[in-house]
């Protein structure tokens, strides 16, 4: 069976930073596989690579935070996509505050929400986390362009996807 490369190479989807916490451990990574998946009730799914540290922390987490960045936040995307939490304390380099379940919320993100983990779905080399959104960032005036896959396609990942 042919892969999806011919199809997926045409996509330019939003990128997200997903953060997790379990006990005193925090993690976060840049994610491209994510989407709202239900309107009533509202649900959102994020897919984390099973190769990275964020997945290892998220599988023990009760809540995850999902952040949108604007194009002016490429350095923040580079930190969460190009460095691994196995070697770098990403949260020592950015302002954040704990929310429900201790999950870190990046205070400089364009927008964010915190969701309770309802289910985990095995998707092969990625694990899906079905989220029930509980809290969202306040509205911010203006709508600068969001950071998209094409903006970070040249990024060297901290872990293989």
The DSSP result for the chain, as a single string, is ---SHHHHTT---B-EEEEEEETTEEEEEEE--EEEEETTTTEEEEEEETTSHHHHHHTT-SEEEEEE-BGGGHHHHHHHHHS-TTT--GGGSS-EEE-GGG-EEETTSSEEEEEEEEEEEE-SSEEEEEEEEEEEPPP-SS-PPBPBHHHHTT---SS--
- pLDDT, residue 2, reads 60
d(CA 60, CA 58): 5
d(CA 25, CA 42): 28
50-89 tens-digit pLDDT = 999 999 999 999 999 999 999 999 999 999 999 888 888 9
Query: Sign of torsion, CA 50 14 63 88?
Result: positive
Query: Sign of torsion, CA 56 57 63 68?
Result: negative
Query: What is the pLDDT averaged over residues 94-100?
Result: 97
Q: Whole-number mean pLDDT of the chain?
A: 92
pTM score, whole prediction:
0.91
Residue 146 reports pLDDT greater than 90 = no
- pLDDT, residue 86, reads 84
- pLDDT, residue 160, reads 66
- pLDDT, residue 154, reads 84
Residue 107 reports pLDDT greater than 60 = yes
- pLDDT, residue 1, reads 44
In angstroms, the Cα distances linking 146 to 77, 80, 142, 152 are: 11, 16, 12, 12
Q: Which two tokens stand for residue 10?
A: 């045409």
Residue 142 reports pLDDT greater than 70 = yes
141 compared with 152, residue with greater pLDDT: 152
């Amino acid at each position: 069976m042919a892969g999806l490369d011919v199809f997926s190479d045409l996509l330019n989807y939003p990128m997200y930073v997903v953060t997790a916490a379990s006990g005193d451990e925090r993690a976060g990574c840049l994610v491209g596989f994510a989407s709202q998946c239900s309107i009533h009730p509202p649900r959102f799914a994020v897919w984390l690579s099973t190769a990275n540290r964020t997945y290892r922390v998220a599988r023990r987490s009760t809540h995850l935070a999902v952040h949108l960045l604007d194009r002016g936040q490429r350095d923040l995307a580079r930190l969460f996509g190009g460095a691994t939490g196995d070697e770098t304390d990403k949260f020592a380099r950015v302002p954040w505050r704990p929310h429900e379940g201790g999950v870190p919320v990046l205070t400089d993100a364009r927008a964010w929400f915190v969701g309770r983990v309802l289910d985990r779905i095995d998707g092969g080399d990625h694990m899906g986390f079905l989220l029930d959104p509980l809290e969202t960032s306040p509205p911010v005036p203006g709508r600068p362009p969001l950071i998209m896959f094409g903006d970070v396609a040249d990024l060297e990942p901290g872990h293989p996807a």
